[in-house]
Structure 1
Amino acid sequence: MKKILIVEDDREIAELERDYLEASDFEVIIEEDGIKGQDAALNGGFDLVILDLMLPHIDGFNLCRRIRTKLDIPVIIVSARQTDIDKIRGFGLGADDYMTKPFSPGELVARAKAHLARYEQLKGHSRHDTKQLTCGDLVLEPGSRRVFCRQQEVHLTNREFELLQFFMENPGIVFSREHLFERIWGVDALGDSATVAVHINRIREKIEEDPARPCYIETVRGAGYRFHKD
């Protein structure tokens, strides 16, 4: 049985989410503040975290960042904050999804199942795909999910790693944001393809000597992005 952690200070919302998830055979634990949520997330062996942003003690953004530095599990942000900047920041910190309140509890369950299935698929793929990908001083190891640039290890979030791996496996081909969103987040994913640009910018910050003049992931004006292998 998959374990899900809900970090939400509104008890009524948290219990509604829990009831729907438990009806779908998930084990669910609720924590109501950021400190307890952090301890549970990092030590509780959970398969997925559902995270509010407005939390006591540690806000959801910082909690998402701390989870992502330690764990590679799906994180879904659920918040009443609906601005694009909040969504971009959430994705930039490594969240896999962002749902705005009010929302359908059934949709939350569907998204949780989709992200868990996606992570299981990726883990299976990584176990069997161990061929190292290289381009100049950039090295990606699918099996260990590690990236090295200029002989230094680069720490990428799960989505950043998937994007970079996809680019390195398909050099010279131009992909639109929509295509990349469907490929990495899933054809049935609910969200905004603009998040692709956020993730690409963060990858550039980590692997490019000059992110403003990228050598690896090029922007093709009006078309999308291309990985420049040479």
Structure 2
Amino acid sequence: MRKNRVLIIDHDLQTCKDIKYNLRSETTEAYYTLTVQEGLTALAKRDYEIVICNVCFPETDGVALLKTLRHMKPVPILLLSTSSALADKIQALEAGADDFLTKPFETEECLARIYALVRRFTELNPLKSRAYTIAAQGDLIIQREKRQALLNGRPLRLTYREYELLSLLVFNPEHVFTYEQLYEQVWAEEYLNNKNSVICEVKRLRRKLGDINLIESVREVGYRFKKE
């Protein structure tokens, strides 16, 4: 039987360690990341029963982060914050948090809230009924159910063809697709030497992806997605 997994996203290393080592048991294993991007990548790659997240990260807006987490997978989110203001609690709950805990807190209370959220989630969502189709490559995450691509935790504005092209490449890393294969699968039309259409679409997609540059040209053949 698989253990319940807990993901902690907090830039405070001591908080991460305190929660992790107090949670660790025969039925529970905990993981932590110290940055938002590492946390989003970890959530994309594995299934967890709960996410514990500090809302105060310098590189992102707390509300935006909560919404991103909520859109990725339907798992409980326990929010940690140094603010005790009622308005902040309400905003966090409206943005997607399931519970709110103000720092500093007693470890026993934190654990009790975690176990309660995990128990409710596992009872309502048996393991066999949870299914996600997500691929993560570095800072890029693809969510097939939502037809959404996230870069550094923020949604990319892609056209229908750009999304289809990116999704095809990401879910088949290192596979070399010919111009003909890409055209017939993305455009859903017969390939009549439409190489330039594919090249132009890839150029537009690369511009939106910016510096990550994971789409690699295979000379005179087509493209592949480099696996990190």
Task: Say if 1:2 and 1:46, in contact at 8 Å, map to a contact too.
Answer: yes
| Cα distance in 2, alignment partners of residues 21 and 69 from structure 1 | 26
- CA 1:80 to 1:24, structure 2 compared with 1: closer, same or farther past 3 Å? farther
Which AA in structure 1 matches 2:95? L
Larger Rg: 2
Aligned equivalents of 1:114, 1:8: Cα separation in 2: 21
Cα pair 2:49 2:121 within 8 Å, conserved? no
The one-letter code of the counterpart of 2:97 is A
Provide the TM-score with structure 1 as the length reference.
Answer: 0.51
Query: Could you state the TM-score of these two structures normalised by the residue count of structure 2?
Result: 0.51
Between 1:77-86 and 1:50-59, the stretch displaced more is 50-59
Say whether the 8 Å CA contact 1:80–1:100 is kept in structure 2: yes
Cα distance change, pair 64–54 in 1 and its aligned pair in 2 (3 A): same
Percent sequence identity over matched residues?
26
Query: Match of 1:86?
Result: 88
Q: Distance in 2 between matches of 1:65 and 1:24?
A: 32
Pairing partner for 1:98 from 97, 100, 103: 100
Aligned residue for 1:48? 50
Q: Secondary structure at the match of 1:113?
A: helix
> Quick one: structure 1 residues 30 and 118, their matched pair in 2 at CA, closer, same or farther if it must change by over 3 Å?
same
Counterpart position of 1:36: 38
Q: Letter of the 2:73 partner, please give it.
A: L
Structure 1 residues without counterparts, runs of 5 or longer? 128-230
Query: Aligned-pair distance for 1:23?
Result: 4.5
Q: Deviations over 1:55-106 (max 9, x none)?
A: 2423443222111112111100011111112111110011110000111111
Post-superposition Cα deviations, 1:35-66, rounded to whole Å, max 9, x if no partner, equal 11111123221111000011242344322211
* Residues 1:44 and 1:31: Cα distance change in structure 2 (over 3 Å): same
* C-alpha distance in structure 2 between counterparts of 1:119 and 1:106, whole Å: 20
- Partner amino acid, structure 1, of 2:123: Q
SS of alignment partner, residue 42 of structure 1 = helix
Alignment of 1:6-155 (within 5 A): 6-23=8-25, 25-123=27-125
Give me the CA root mean square deviation. Answer: 1.8
**What are the equivalent positions in structure 2 for 1:174-185 lying under 5 Å apart?**
none
Other structure's SS at 2:8 match: strand
Instruction: Write the letter of the residue equivalent to 1:81.
Output: S
- Partners of 1:61 and 1:42 lie apart in 2 by 19
Deviations 1:167-195 (A, max 9, x none): xxxxxxxxxxxxxxxxxxxxxxxxxxxxx
Counterpart of 1:99 in structure 2: which amino acid? L
Give secondary structure in 1 for the equivalent of 2:60. Answer: coil
Kindly state the Cα deviation for residue 114 of structure 1 after the two structures are TM-superposed.
0.7
**Structure 1 equivalent of residue 211 of structure 2:** none
Distance of 1:52 and 1:104 partners within structure 2: 16
1:78 is paired with a residue of what secondary structure?
strand
Count of aligned pairs: 125
Q: Which residue of 2 aligns with 1:2?
A: 4
Does the 8 Å CA contact 2:79/2:101 hold for their aligned counterparts?
yes
Q: 1:103-154, CA deviations, whole angstroms, 9 ceiling, x for partnerless residues?
A: 1111111111111111223236xx8xxxxxxxxxxxxxxxxxxxxxxxxxxx
Contact 2:49 2:122 in 1 (8 A): no
Residue aligning to 1:175: none
